[in-house]
Structure 1
């Protein structure tokens, strides 16, 4: 469809109305607008315009389509004889309203509706040298809505809800499906059923930021609107039939308030039939005023709709049995196969005060839950297999005599002072939590896997024996060890400042040397040099390479085959700590020994680790 410019639309519409009605300078500002006055109710309602306020369900959707045909919603009359129709800008207008809603938590409902003008036609009218062509198919304004149920419940005598709708300008002014601006509509809904009689009322304010003057000085603008319906529920309340009356009037201009053109009103007779999860509807209506003179209110309107909304299953007492099957709908009960007892409370059983399943008349201990026995003297009394005075039902150690405690996990068990699961009589370390072993000398004592005299929870290297150290990170660790693909050392290799000369590091290097001599399966090791970020990166990388080479030479000078050792300087590229503190920089200035090749693990490509996060 070829779009005309907005200026052309304004001037053309103004010339039409000034030539056919009263001449007024304000008509030059006329534009197209949202013409159709039928605004369908949210999906799930049993009225076309009004709302039955069915918000039942924790999460309950509804979807539907409404077909809306209007005949002569925008007619043009002779300016000399206001009752003489000379043509229709819009003669036939057929909309398809596609929408859905979602009821949440029995109280809130969200809705959406998109009108689509599937077909429009009208008269080709010429006035004051201007020709106006009929409108074409176009989208309408998308409606987004939300409603909150204030009180009442669907099907009751009165239910009230407060809500609002927002109309986004997705339509086309030139084709009379949009104002070209956002519209906002706060509203209140009331609905109810009294026996077979059903009613609904709706009122609100339609904020419509238009200031366009049309015939006889009347302007479009914000409106007050209202609607009312009444009907009968028939066919076991599956059919609702009755009239709906709705209309509005412009309130932003006194010349338009309750005037014929700016006060469109319609009445229709409709019916809706619900069949399971589906609802079907049909209706026919007309404008209230003679000749349907209100803009957008047609002489004849026809409606058809179909929608889907899952049927709501009522369960008044919340026992999981729907009211339609519940023989006791107001009393929580249990589900049975007998329609006479389904959903009813179970039959009261003989008295059993302690609830142990043994009726009081046969219970030797009617106030203390027990177990069934064949001995009338003990039937219904608690068992105490180990005879420690703690009943078996409370005894954590049924077969072992113990003592009573307040802890269900130890009640009736022998004492365990340190709570490690090893009873004191068997615990070699009564005051220190440990682990169970088969050795009486270590049973119940803390584990020490490497037997270095430092228990595992304090041993930084629990699988490799080492000396004690005040530093928790070094305690129990050997000077050098194989771990995670490296030979890790507990203290750094030291160098002279800005030099590759090794100082005070023979002890730690000898520890590395011993591992390499002991583990001939290590075919190649990569000595890496690293620096902090002090100074220039290129200088740091060169110095780290020299230091790595110096360490590699120390190893080869002490008997390690040169083929097993390579050197690599990374400079400041692989920090392991922040460079914002002296301690962090000291940690970054380091030498590492990476196992590059073993018979099981061939050499891998080097990959720089991610830089650590900076400490605040």
Structure 2
């Protein structure tokens, strides 16, 4: 709804006595439909009509309350008996359009608007309704002449289009009833557009446009508000969900001053049906977004545009017999080689085998590129001409020998039976040679004569010892070799009491050939660790002989296995030979030598101590050789235990 509030726009008392209806050389109509079929509703596209393309359009629109008058906070109504509630209560208009394109980048269009019917009232200068002040019911509007020049053609692959328009008007409309301006106007404008495809051939799926410019006109004053040169803007967005349907919305506005009445804004949703290439039907409904002059409460509109082309090149630009509307390559002629000839595009390589048709011996059959005659462009189904097609041929470059053996795989079989004798020399090519040292070169299976050199009943062929007879003692009797020591324990089977179980070499009955466990030489008692053998030293020295190393290793193991024995005394004893002092010193040294050995064998030194007693504690008489031998000893006494 457009409001004109006199308390704001009319000076107090101005022309208070003038009751004569005034001229209104102000065109309030803001719906100026696009002139060519490529535009939106009122927003211009950056595309023009094509070369020698004629565009004819017919539009109609109906609006309500595009100008409403208020005074002192009250709405002003027209004269009875109808008493319209708006200056322009209702209006119906048509636009007749004609345009033509030149060279794809320039077009000239003419729009002749006509007010078919309207009702409302013309106010007098003192805002007093007068019975004689009804609006003119109908009148032609100002003629619009609009040249458009394309600066950036979006139809040539650019993502954005740019065009320059300079719409001028010829004052043919009445200067009363908000129909005509009374003077010529000029409106230079730039049209920007983005789309994801060409606009002229409608290959886009979505697009948008923005028009900005100004309408230059002489100023006119209505109710103390001046309407002169104004800034113009239009914008649109659309989407094309189907080839024949486009949905969009336009917004159109202007600004001639800082008052609301001078800056109308209108929103116009619409749909467009596109039949064939030249016909477009547009319909929509919208409303004003603010109470600016010319911004209606409701607008319903529709239009039909028809734009046939009379350019011979537009029908078949590349003269290949394919009309442009079907030609996907309108500037490049079809090669007409009976391969996809209806798309209008030349096919330099019909079979897409990268061998150009001019060099391709089989332009409609792709080369198989198997490194065999690949330059001729023809597929080679049987490279080796062996009757087995390459798709099933395991050896496509080598012919099958067709000898009745695996002839379907396409590979020659030089040794059918796999006996490593080539079929050419094989007397039995399909039966493998028995390699047994007997006629092995003839390629035929055969049996070798039975030969048993050692007479053990095993053929020399399997006998690992063909000159030595098997002993047949139930031990590996099938290898043909005699086994003199079955268990490999070094005791010949003839004297081995356990020929199948190896002797345990532990210095205990090692000659019987049987496994056994030697009695323990180290025994832990309540107060002592008793050893059943002597520790031998070099005569008169504290050097342990090797024969006793094993015994002392067992002592070390027993001590480590019994952690409860926390302190053990190693005691050295001698016989009575020599001086008492020498024997005491010797016994101490020998006890210390044993302790060092045990520590080296892994016994904690804190658990050991060494003490020599010399000849002071004999356990037998020193008057005999046997008694002295017993007195020369090492003992282990448990001093502390847990």
- TM-score under structure 1 normalisation? 0.48
- TM-score under structure 2 normalisation? 0.46
Structure 1 or 2, whichever has the larger Rg, is 2
